[in-house]
Amino acid sequence: MDNERGSFSRVGFILAAAGSAVGLGNLWKFPYTVGENGGGLFVMVYLASVIIIALPVLIAEITIGRYTGKNPVGAFNAIKPGSPWKLVGYLGVASGFMILSFYAVVAGATVGYFFKAITGQFKGMTGDAAGSMYTNFTSNSWLQIFLLAVFIFLTVYVVSRGVSGGIEKFSKILMPALFCILILLLFRSLTLKDASKGIEFYLKPDLKALKPKLIIEAMTQAFFSLSLGMGTMITYGSYVSKKENLATAAGWIALFDTGIALLAGFIIFPAIFSQGMDPAQGSGAMFNVLPVLFAKMPGGVIFGPLFFLLLSIAALTSTISILEVPVAFAIDEKKWNRKLAAIVIGSMAFIIGIPCALFPGFMSLWVQIWGGFALSIGALFIALFVGFAWKTSDARHERKVGGGGLRLAPVWAVAIRFVAPILILLILLGSFL
Ligand code: TRP
Protein backbone atom coordinates (compact mmCIF):
# COMPACT_ATOMS: atom_id res chain seq x y z
CA MET A 1 0.00 0.00 0.00
CA ASP A 2 1.39 3.41 -0.82
CA ASN A 3 2.14 6.04 1.78
CA GLU A 4 -0.62 8.39 0.82
CA ARG A 5 -3.16 5.77 1.84
CA GLY A 6 -1.81 4.17 5.03
CA SER A 7 -3.48 1.27 6.84
CA PHE A 8 -4.98 0.18 10.15
CA SER A 9 -3.55 -2.17 12.73
CA ARG A 10 -5.60 -5.17 13.76
CA VAL A 11 -7.69 -3.86 16.68
CA GLY A 12 -7.29 -0.45 15.16
CA PHE A 13 -9.85 -1.23 12.51
CA ILE A 14 -12.64 -2.25 14.89
CA LEU A 15 -11.91 0.81 16.99
CA ALA A 16 -11.80 3.15 14.04
CA ALA A 17 -14.94 1.71 12.47
CA ALA A 18 -16.74 1.87 15.81
CA GLY A 19 -15.43 5.41 16.14
CA SER A 20 -17.02 6.20 12.79
CA ALA A 21 -20.29 4.56 13.72
CA VAL A 22 -20.65 5.98 17.22
CA GLY A 23 -21.34 9.68 17.12
CA LEU A 24 -24.15 12.17 16.92
CA GLY A 25 -26.24 9.53 15.18
CA ASN A 26 -26.44 7.69 18.49
CA LEU A 27 -26.74 10.49 21.02
CA TRP A 28 -28.40 13.27 19.11
CA LYS A 29 -30.35 11.74 16.19
CA PHE A 30 -31.49 8.40 17.59
CA PRO A 31 -33.34 9.75 20.67
CA TYR A 32 -35.15 12.55 18.87
CA THR A 33 -36.14 10.24 16.02
CA VAL A 34 -37.51 7.74 18.53
CA GLY A 35 -39.41 10.61 20.15
CA GLU A 36 -40.90 11.84 16.89
CA ASN A 37 -42.01 8.34 15.97
CA GLY A 38 -43.91 7.50 19.11
CA GLY A 39 -41.35 5.52 21.14
CA GLY A 40 -41.16 1.76 21.69
CA LEU A 41 -42.39 0.52 18.34
CA PHE A 42 -39.76 2.55 16.52
CA VAL A 43 -37.07 1.06 18.74
CA MET A 44 -38.18 -2.46 17.82
CA VAL A 45 -38.31 -1.74 14.09
CA TYR A 46 -34.92 -0.08 14.41
CA LEU A 47 -33.37 -3.14 16.03
CA ALA A 48 -34.88 -5.39 13.38
CA SER A 49 -33.48 -3.12 10.63
CA VAL A 50 -30.01 -3.23 12.16
CA ILE A 51 -29.95 -7.02 12.23
CA ILE A 52 -31.80 -7.91 9.05
CA ILE A 53 -30.80 -5.09 6.71
CA ALA A 54 -27.87 -3.06 7.99
CA LEU A 55 -25.56 -5.78 9.30
CA PRO A 56 -25.45 -7.69 5.98
CA VAL A 57 -24.73 -4.39 4.18
CA LEU A 58 -21.98 -3.58 6.68
CA ILE A 59 -20.29 -6.91 5.97
CA ALA A 60 -20.69 -6.28 2.23
CA GLU A 61 -19.09 -2.81 2.39
CA ILE A 62 -16.09 -3.92 4.44
CA THR A 63 -15.60 -6.89 2.14
CA ILE A 64 -15.63 -4.76 -1.02
CA GLY A 65 -13.19 -2.36 0.60
CA ARG A 66 -10.66 -4.92 1.70
CA TYR A 67 -10.85 -6.92 -1.52
CA THR A 68 -10.11 -3.91 -3.69
CA GLY A 69 -8.11 -1.77 -1.27
CA LYS A 70 -9.77 1.30 -2.76
CA ASN A 71 -12.17 4.21 -2.30
CA PRO A 72 -15.79 3.54 -3.35
CA VAL A 73 -15.44 4.75 -6.95
CA GLY A 74 -12.19 2.84 -7.45
CA ALA A 75 -13.61 -0.22 -5.74
CA PHE A 76 -16.62 -0.59 -8.04
CA ASN A 77 -14.37 0.07 -11.00
CA ALA A 78 -11.86 -2.55 -9.89
CA ILE A 79 -14.47 -5.29 -9.65
CA LYS A 80 -16.56 -4.32 -12.70
CA PRO A 81 -14.26 -2.15 -14.85
CA GLY A 82 -15.94 0.41 -17.03
CA SER A 83 -19.46 -0.41 -15.82
CA PRO A 84 -22.02 2.11 -14.52
CA TRP A 85 -21.62 0.60 -11.03
CA LYS A 86 -19.05 3.26 -10.25
CA LEU A 87 -21.92 5.75 -10.16
CA VAL A 88 -22.79 4.22 -6.79
CA GLY A 89 -19.31 5.24 -5.71
CA TYR A 90 -19.83 8.77 -7.02
CA LEU A 91 -23.12 9.01 -5.14
CA GLY A 92 -21.18 8.08 -1.99
CA VAL A 93 -18.53 10.73 -2.61
CA ALA A 94 -21.26 13.34 -3.12
CA SER A 95 -23.15 12.19 -0.03
CA GLY A 96 -19.91 12.56 1.88
CA PHE A 97 -19.75 16.31 1.19
CA MET A 98 -23.37 16.81 2.01
CA ILE A 99 -23.49 14.77 5.21
CA LEU A 100 -20.31 16.42 6.45
CA SER A 101 -21.86 19.82 5.89
CA PHE A 102 -24.85 19.31 8.21
CA TYR A 103 -23.13 16.96 10.61
CA ALA A 104 -20.39 19.48 11.34
CA VAL A 105 -23.02 22.06 12.32
CA VAL A 106 -24.41 19.81 15.05
CA ALA A 107 -20.89 18.77 16.02
CA GLY A 108 -20.05 22.47 16.32
CA ALA A 109 -23.00 22.81 18.68
CA THR A 110 -21.54 20.13 20.95
CA VAL A 111 -18.32 22.15 21.07
CA GLY A 112 -20.40 25.22 21.93
CA TYR A 113 -22.09 23.29 24.71
CA PHE A 114 -18.74 22.17 26.01
CA PHE A 115 -17.90 25.84 26.56
CA LYS A 116 -21.26 26.51 28.13
CA ALA A 117 -20.71 23.60 30.50
CA ILE A 118 -17.19 24.52 31.48
CA THR A 119 -18.13 28.12 32.17
CA GLY A 120 -20.84 26.96 34.58
CA GLN A 121 -23.85 27.95 32.48
CA PHE A 122 -25.80 24.79 33.36
CA LYS A 123 -26.06 25.82 36.99
CA GLY A 124 -29.61 25.60 38.36
CA MET A 125 -30.89 24.73 34.88
CA THR A 126 -34.58 23.89 34.47
CA GLY A 127 -36.35 22.47 31.43
CA ASP A 128 -37.65 25.87 30.31
CA ALA A 129 -34.34 27.63 30.80
CA ALA A 130 -32.51 24.92 28.86
CA GLY A 131 -35.02 25.30 26.02
CA SER A 132 -34.47 29.04 25.71
CA MET A 133 -30.72 28.61 26.05
CA TYR A 134 -30.77 26.32 23.02
CA THR A 135 -32.99 28.66 21.01
CA ASN A 136 -30.71 31.63 21.73
CA PHE A 137 -27.69 29.55 20.90
CA THR A 138 -28.94 28.30 17.53
CA SER A 139 -30.22 31.71 16.48
CA ASN A 140 -26.78 33.26 16.93
CA SER A 141 -25.73 33.02 13.27
CA TRP A 142 -22.12 34.10 13.59
CA LEU A 143 -21.50 31.72 16.45
CA GLN A 144 -23.02 28.84 14.46
CA ILE A 145 -20.83 29.58 11.47
CA PHE A 146 -17.78 30.00 13.66
CA LEU A 147 -18.35 26.64 15.39
CA LEU A 148 -18.96 24.98 12.01
CA ALA A 149 -15.62 26.36 10.83
CA VAL A 150 -13.87 25.13 13.97
CA PHE A 151 -15.23 21.66 13.51
CA ILE A 152 -14.40 21.42 9.82
CA PHE A 153 -10.90 22.65 10.64
CA LEU A 154 -10.40 19.90 13.25
CA THR A 155 -11.66 17.27 10.81
CA VAL A 156 -9.40 18.48 8.01
CA TYR A 157 -6.45 18.55 10.39
CA VAL A 158 -6.84 14.91 11.45
CA VAL A 159 -7.65 13.60 7.96
CA SER A 160 -4.66 15.39 6.45
CA ARG A 161 -2.38 13.45 8.82
CA GLY A 162 -3.61 10.12 7.46
CA VAL A 163 -5.55 7.16 8.69
CA SER A 164 -3.34 5.21 11.01
CA GLY A 165 -1.65 8.26 12.51
CA GLY A 166 -4.79 10.28 13.09
CA ILE A 167 -7.87 8.17 13.32
CA GLU A 168 -6.81 5.17 15.37
CA LYS A 169 -5.35 7.10 18.26
CA PHE A 170 -8.49 9.09 18.88
CA SER A 171 -10.73 6.04 19.01
CA LYS A 172 -8.68 4.14 21.55
CA ILE A 173 -9.30 6.30 24.60
CA LEU A 174 -12.59 7.71 23.51
CA MET A 175 -14.88 4.68 23.54
CA PRO A 176 -14.28 3.51 27.13
CA ALA A 177 -14.37 7.06 28.47
CA LEU A 178 -17.63 7.88 26.71
CA PHE A 179 -19.16 4.64 27.90
CA CYS A 180 -18.29 5.35 31.56
CA ILE A 181 -19.83 8.79 31.53
CA LEU A 182 -22.96 7.47 29.86
CA ILE A 183 -23.38 4.96 32.68
CA LEU A 184 -23.21 7.78 35.21
CA LEU A 185 -25.81 9.74 33.29
CA LEU A 186 -27.95 6.63 33.13
CA PHE A 187 -28.02 6.35 36.92
CA ARG A 188 -28.95 9.97 37.34
CA SER A 189 -31.68 9.83 34.77
CA LEU A 190 -33.26 6.61 36.00
CA THR A 191 -33.56 7.96 39.53
CA LEU A 192 -35.43 11.12 38.52
CA LYS A 193 -39.07 11.64 39.40
CA ASP A 194 -41.35 10.07 36.75
CA ALA A 195 -38.42 8.30 35.11
CA SER A 196 -40.65 5.25 34.66
CA LYS A 197 -42.94 7.18 32.30
CA GLY A 198 -39.98 7.77 30.03
CA ILE A 199 -39.01 4.12 30.15
CA GLU A 200 -42.54 3.12 29.31
CA PHE A 201 -42.59 5.44 26.29
CA TYR A 202 -39.23 4.13 25.18
CA LEU A 203 -39.93 0.43 25.52
CA LYS A 204 -43.65 -0.12 25.18
CA PRO A 205 -44.64 -0.52 21.53
CA ASP A 206 -47.77 1.36 20.60
CA LEU A 207 -49.18 -0.12 17.42
CA LYS A 208 -51.00 3.10 16.65
CA ALA A 209 -47.61 4.61 15.84
CA LEU A 210 -47.14 2.26 12.89
CA LYS A 211 -46.78 4.32 9.71
CA PRO A 212 -44.66 4.07 6.56
CA LYS A 213 -42.71 7.05 7.90
CA LEU A 214 -41.76 5.11 11.03
CA ILE A 215 -40.42 2.19 9.03
CA ILE A 216 -38.39 4.27 6.61
CA GLU A 217 -36.96 6.42 9.39
CA ALA A 218 -36.00 3.32 11.37
CA MET A 219 -34.20 1.85 8.39
CA THR A 220 -32.39 5.03 7.40
CA GLN A 221 -31.42 5.62 11.01
CA ALA A 222 -29.81 2.15 11.00
CA PHE A 223 -27.78 3.08 7.90
CA PHE A 224 -26.88 6.48 9.28
CA SER A 225 -25.84 5.16 12.65
CA LEU A 226 -23.70 2.38 11.21
CA SER A 227 -22.13 4.75 8.64
CA LEU A 228 -23.52 2.76 5.72
CA GLY A 229 -24.68 3.52 2.21
CA MET A 230 -22.04 6.04 1.15
CA GLY A 231 -18.91 3.94 1.18
CA THR A 232 -17.42 4.95 4.52
CA MET A 233 -17.11 1.30 5.42
CA ILE A 234 -15.77 0.47 1.95
CA THR A 235 -13.09 3.08 2.48
CA TYR A 236 -12.29 1.94 6.03
CA GLY A 237 -12.36 -1.68 4.82
CA SER A 238 -9.66 -0.76 2.33
CA TYR A 239 -7.30 -0.08 5.22
CA VAL A 240 -7.90 -3.47 6.87
CA SER A 241 -5.31 -6.22 6.92
CA LYS A 242 -6.06 -9.55 5.29
CA LYS A 243 -5.73 -11.19 8.71
CA GLU A 244 -8.91 -9.65 10.02
CA ASN A 245 -12.09 -11.74 10.26
CA LEU A 246 -14.58 -9.39 8.65
CA ALA A 247 -17.87 -10.89 9.84
CA THR A 248 -16.76 -10.88 13.47
CA ALA A 249 -15.48 -7.33 13.15
CA ALA A 250 -18.81 -6.24 11.65
CA GLY A 251 -20.69 -7.91 14.50
CA TRP A 252 -18.68 -6.04 17.11
CA ILE A 253 -19.12 -2.72 15.35
CA ALA A 254 -22.89 -3.19 15.14
CA LEU A 255 -23.05 -4.28 18.77
CA PHE A 256 -21.10 -1.26 20.07
CA ASP A 257 -23.05 1.17 17.99
CA THR A 258 -26.47 -0.19 18.84
CA GLY A 259 -25.57 -0.50 22.52
CA ILE A 260 -24.62 3.18 22.72
CA ALA A 261 -27.77 4.29 20.89
CA LEU A 262 -30.01 2.26 23.22
CA LEU A 263 -28.16 3.65 26.22
CA ALA A 264 -28.74 7.19 24.95
CA GLY A 265 -32.49 6.55 24.89
CA PHE A 266 -32.45 5.26 28.45
CA ILE A 267 -30.83 8.55 29.46
CA ILE A 268 -32.88 10.99 27.37
CA PHE A 269 -36.45 9.71 27.83
CA PRO A 270 -36.63 9.51 31.63
CA ALA A 271 -35.16 13.02 31.71
CA ILE A 272 -37.65 14.32 29.14
CA PHE A 273 -40.64 12.91 30.99
CA SER A 274 -39.43 14.02 34.39
CA GLN A 275 -39.24 17.59 33.04
CA GLY A 276 -42.70 17.28 31.52
CA MET A 277 -41.23 17.96 28.08
CA ASP A 278 -42.61 16.80 24.74
CA PRO A 279 -40.78 13.67 23.49
CA ALA A 280 -41.55 14.74 19.91
CA GLN A 281 -39.84 18.14 20.27
CA GLY A 282 -37.42 17.39 17.43
CA SER A 283 -33.72 17.78 16.88
CA GLY A 284 -33.09 19.96 19.95
CA ALA A 285 -34.01 17.18 22.38
CA MET A 286 -30.51 16.28 23.52
CA PHE A 287 -29.49 19.91 24.00
CA ASN A 288 -32.69 20.74 25.83
CA VAL A 289 -32.51 17.96 28.33
CA LEU A 290 -28.89 17.17 29.19
CA PRO A 291 -28.03 20.51 30.81
CA VAL A 292 -30.89 19.89 33.24
CA LEU A 293 -29.52 16.46 34.06
CA PHE A 294 -26.06 17.83 34.73
CA ALA A 295 -27.48 20.57 36.92
CA LYS A 296 -29.23 17.96 39.02
CA MET A 297 -26.29 15.61 39.24
CA PRO A 298 -23.65 15.49 41.96
CA GLY A 299 -20.39 16.39 40.24
CA GLY A 300 -22.33 17.74 37.26
CA VAL A 301 -19.91 20.68 37.02
CA ILE A 302 -17.23 18.17 36.06
CA PHE A 303 -19.28 15.60 34.18
CA GLY A 304 -21.09 18.18 32.06
CA PRO A 305 -17.99 19.56 30.35
CA LEU A 306 -16.45 16.09 30.20
CA PHE A 307 -19.50 14.69 28.46
CA PHE A 308 -19.64 17.40 25.80
CA LEU A 309 -15.91 17.09 25.26
CA LEU A 310 -16.20 13.34 24.72
CA LEU A 311 -19.22 13.78 22.49
CA SER A 312 -17.31 16.32 20.40
CA ILE A 313 -14.51 13.80 20.00
CA ALA A 314 -17.01 11.06 19.13
CA ALA A 315 -18.44 13.37 16.49
CA LEU A 316 -14.91 14.07 15.26
CA THR A 317 -14.15 10.37 14.75
CA SER A 318 -17.34 10.30 12.66
CA THR A 319 -16.67 13.42 10.58
CA ILE A 320 -13.18 12.09 9.92
CA SER A 321 -14.70 8.94 8.43
CA ILE A 322 -17.08 11.00 6.32
CA LEU A 323 -14.38 13.30 4.93
CA GLU A 324 -12.12 10.30 4.34
CA VAL A 325 -14.41 9.06 1.54
CA PRO A 326 -14.04 12.01 -0.85
CA VAL A 327 -10.40 12.40 0.21
CA ALA A 328 -9.55 8.76 -0.58
CA PHE A 329 -11.32 9.26 -3.90
CA ALA A 330 -9.23 12.33 -4.70
CA ILE A 331 -6.00 10.56 -3.71
CA ASP A 332 -6.67 7.33 -5.63
CA GLU A 333 -8.48 8.56 -8.69
CA LYS A 334 -7.28 12.13 -9.10
CA LYS A 335 -3.77 11.65 -7.69
CA TRP A 336 -4.06 14.59 -5.32
CA ASN A 337 -1.96 14.59 -2.21
CA ARG A 338 -3.76 13.93 1.06
CA LYS A 339 -3.30 17.35 2.55
CA LEU A 340 -4.55 19.27 -0.45
CA ALA A 341 -7.52 16.93 -0.83
CA ALA A 342 -8.52 17.36 2.81
CA ILE A 343 -8.27 21.15 2.67
CA VAL A 344 -10.14 21.62 -0.61
CA ILE A 345 -12.94 19.20 0.19
CA GLY A 346 -13.26 20.41 3.78
CA SER A 347 -13.63 24.01 2.55
CA MET A 348 -16.36 23.00 0.15
CA ALA A 349 -18.24 21.21 2.93
CA PHE A 350 -17.91 24.35 5.04
CA ILE A 351 -19.59 26.43 2.35
CA ILE A 352 -22.46 23.99 1.98
CA GLY A 353 -22.68 23.85 5.76
CA ILE A 354 -23.43 27.59 6.08
CA PRO A 355 -27.09 27.36 5.01
CA CYS A 356 -27.46 24.38 7.35
CA ALA A 357 -26.11 26.47 10.20
CA LEU A 358 -28.44 29.39 9.43
CA PHE A 359 -31.75 27.79 8.46
CA PRO A 360 -33.19 24.92 10.52
CA GLY A 361 -35.58 24.07 7.68
CA PHE A 362 -32.72 23.63 5.24
CA MET A 363 -30.88 21.59 7.80
CA SER A 364 -33.71 19.11 8.30
CA LEU A 365 -34.20 18.83 4.55
CA TRP A 366 -30.50 18.03 4.18
CA VAL A 367 -30.70 15.46 6.98
CA GLN A 368 -33.62 13.82 5.19
CA ILE A 369 -32.13 13.78 1.71
CA TRP A 370 -28.47 13.04 2.38
CA GLY A 371 -28.60 11.49 5.82
CA GLY A 372 -31.54 9.30 4.84
CA PHE A 373 -32.71 8.86 1.29
CA ALA A 374 -29.28 8.89 -0.40
CA LEU A 375 -27.98 6.31 2.08
CA SER A 376 -30.88 3.95 1.37
CA ILE A 377 -30.26 4.20 -2.36
CA GLY A 378 -26.56 3.62 -1.80
CA ALA A 379 -27.17 0.62 0.46
CA LEU A 380 -29.64 -0.86 -2.03
CA PHE A 381 -27.12 -0.73 -4.86
CA ILE A 382 -24.29 -1.99 -2.69
CA ALA A 383 -26.41 -5.03 -1.77
CA LEU A 384 -27.37 -5.64 -5.40
CA PHE A 385 -23.78 -5.21 -6.50
CA VAL A 386 -22.37 -7.74 -4.05
CA GLY A 387 -25.28 -10.13 -4.48
CA PHE A 388 -25.50 -10.17 -8.26
CA ALA A 389 -22.82 -8.23 -10.14
CA TRP A 390 -19.93 -9.37 -8.00
CA LYS A 391 -20.67 -12.95 -7.16
CA THR A 392 -21.31 -13.60 -3.49
CA SER A 393 -18.99 -16.59 -3.81
CA ASP A 394 -16.09 -14.22 -4.57
CA ALA A 395 -17.12 -12.06 -1.67
CA ARG A 396 -17.24 -15.15 0.51
CA HIS A 397 -13.78 -16.05 -0.62
CA GLU A 398 -12.53 -12.62 0.38
CA ARG A 399 -14.02 -13.05 3.81
CA LYS A 400 -12.39 -16.46 4.16
CA VAL A 401 -8.99 -14.82 3.93
CA GLY A 402 -9.38 -13.66 7.50
CA GLY A 403 -10.50 -17.12 8.63
CA GLY A 404 -13.55 -18.12 10.64
CA GLY A 405 -17.04 -16.70 10.61
CA LEU A 406 -18.10 -18.91 7.73
CA ARG A 407 -20.83 -20.99 9.33
CA LEU A 408 -23.20 -18.10 8.75
CA ALA A 409 -21.94 -17.38 5.24
CA PRO A 410 -24.97 -18.92 3.46
CA VAL A 411 -27.29 -16.87 5.68
CA TRP A 412 -25.40 -13.73 4.75
CA ALA A 413 -25.57 -14.63 1.05
CA VAL A 414 -29.36 -14.87 1.21
CA ALA A 415 -29.60 -11.70 3.27
CA ILE A 416 -27.50 -9.63 0.89
CA ARG A 417 -29.00 -10.99 -2.34
CA PHE A 418 -32.66 -11.06 -1.41
CA VAL A 419 -33.73 -9.98 2.06
CA ALA A 420 -31.89 -6.65 2.24
CA PRO A 421 -32.54 -5.37 -1.30
CA ILE A 422 -36.19 -6.42 -1.33
CA LEU A 423 -36.89 -4.83 2.03
CA ILE A 424 -35.05 -1.61 1.15
CA LEU A 425 -36.97 -1.37 -2.12
CA LEU A 426 -40.33 -2.02 -0.51
CA ILE A 427 -39.67 0.47 2.25
CA LEU A 428 -38.55 3.15 -0.21
CA LEU A 429 -41.60 2.56 -2.40
CA GLY A 430 -43.89 2.52 0.64
CA SER A 431 -42.59 5.91 1.71
CA PHE A 432 -43.34 7.42 -1.70
CA LEU A 433 -46.91 6.20 -1.81
N1 TRP B 1 -22.50 6.94 11.95
C2 TRP B 1 -22.11 8.25 12.38
C3 TRP B 1 -22.97 8.62 13.57
O4 TRP B 1 -23.80 7.85 13.98
C5 TRP B 1 -22.18 9.27 11.29
C6 TRP B 1 -21.48 8.82 10.06
C7 TRP B 1 -20.16 8.63 9.89
C8 TRP B 1 -22.09 8.49 8.83
N9 TRP B 1 -19.89 8.18 8.63
C10 TRP B 1 -21.06 8.08 7.96
C11 TRP B 1 -23.40 8.49 8.43
C12 TRP B 1 -21.38 7.65 6.69
C13 TRP B 1 -23.69 8.08 7.14
C14 TRP B 1 -22.70 7.63 6.27
O15 TRP B 1 -22.86 9.66 14.11
* C-alpha distances out from residue 78 to 8, 69, 81, 86, 94, Å: 21, 9, 6, 9, 20
Nearest ligand 1 atom, CA 322: 9
Contact 133, 119 (CB under 8 A): no
Note the pTM of the prediction, 2 decimals.
0.95
Whole-number Å distance, alpha carbon 371 to ligand 1 midpoint, is 8
pLDDT at 165 (0 to 100): 61
Q: Which helix (H) or strand (E) holds 354?
A: helix 338-358
| Positive/negative CA dihedral, 127, 128, 130, 134 | positive
Residue 405: the pLDDT is 55
Question: What are the pLDDT digits (tens) for 52-77?
Answer: 999 999 999 999 999 999 999 999 99
Q: CA-to-CA distance for 287 and 277, rounded, in angstroms?
A: 13
Asked if 164 and 12 touch (Cβ cutoff 8 Å), the reply is yes
Instruction: Provide the total of helices (H) and of strands (E) in the chain, helices listed first.
Output: 22, 0
Residues 7, 12, 13, 19, CA torsion sign = negative
C-beta of 107 in contact with ligand 1 (< 6 A): no
Instruction: From 32, 95, 155, 232, give the residue whose CB has the most ligand 1 atoms within 8 Å, as the site to mutate.
Output: 232
Distance between CA atoms of residues 366 and 351, nearest Å: 14
pLDDT given at position 82? 92
Ligand 1: centre distance to CA 24 (Å): 8
Atom of ligand 1 nearest to the CA of 28: 15
Question: Ligand 1, closest atom to CA 223?
Answer: 13
Could you tell which of 62, 105, 313, 321 is best to mutate to test the pocket of ligand 1, judged by most ligand atoms within 8 Å of the CB?
321
Q: Is 321 in the pocket of ligand 1 (CB under 6 A)?
A: yes
> How many Å lie between the centroid of ligand 1 and the Cα of residue 236?
12
**Amino acid letter, residue 234:** I
Q: Is the pLDDT of residue 397 over 80?
A: no
C-alpha 373 – ligand 1 centre gap (Å)? 14
- 369-396 pLDDT, tens digit each: 999 999 999 999 999 999 999 876 677 7
**How far does residue 246's CA lie from ligand 1's centre (Å)?**
19
Q: How far is 305 from 294, CA to CA, in rounded Å? A: 9
Is 311 close to ligand 1, i.e. is its CB under 6 Å away?
no
pLDDT, residue 395, reads 73
Average pLDDT score over the chain: 92
In the chain, the percentage of residues whose pLDDT exceeds 90 is 82
pLDDT band, residue 95 (cuts 50/70/90):
very high
- CA 21 to ligand 1: nearest atom: 1
Strand, helix or coil for residue 156: helix
So what's the pLDDT on residue 166?
A: 58
The verdict on the CB of residue 227 being under 6 Å from ligand 1 is yes
What is the length of the chain? 433
> Quick one: DSSP state of residue 81?
T
Residue 203 has pLDDT above 60, yes or no: yes
pLDDT band at 316 (very low <50, low <70, confident <90, very high): very high
What residues have CB less than 8 Å from 151, skipping those under 6 apart?
Answer: 104, 105, 107, 108, 111, 315, 316, 319
Q: Which atom of ligand 1 is nearest to the CA of 318?
A: 7
**Side chain identity at 33, as an amino acid letter?**
T
Residue 83 CA to ligand 1 center (angstroms) comes to: 27
pLDDT beyond 90 at 254: yes
Instruction: Report the 10 Å Cβ neighbour count for 429.
Output: 10
The pLDDT, as a whole number, for residue 99 is: 98
Which residue, judged by its Cα, is nearest atom 14 of ligand 1? 227
pLDDT tens column, 106-140: 999 999 999 999 999 999 999 999 999 999 999 99
Distance 339 CA to ligand 1 centre (A): 22
Give me the pLDDT at residue 20, please: 94
The closest residue, in CA terms, to atom 4 on ligand 1 is 25
For atom 8 of ligand 1, the residue with the nearest CA is 227
Give, in order, the Cα–Cα distances in Å from 196 to each of 219, 266, 273, 365.
27, 10, 8, 34
List, in order, residues 6 or more apart from 368 with CB less than 8 Å away: none
Tens of pLDDT, residues 331-348: 999 999 999 999 999 999
Q: Tell me what pLDDT residue 3 has.
A: 45
Q: Is ligand 1 within 6 A of the CB of residue 23?
A: yes
Q: Which of 239, 185, 284, 217 is nearest to 9 (CA)?
A: 239
Which pLDDT band holds residue 171 (cuts at 50, 70, 90)?
confident
Question: Is the Cβ atom of 155 under 6 angstroms away from ligand 1?
Answer: no
Does residue 24 line the site of ligand 1, with CB under 6 A? yes
pLDDT band at 2 (very low <50, low <70, confident <90, very high): very low
- The confidence score (pLDDT) of residue 410 equals 86
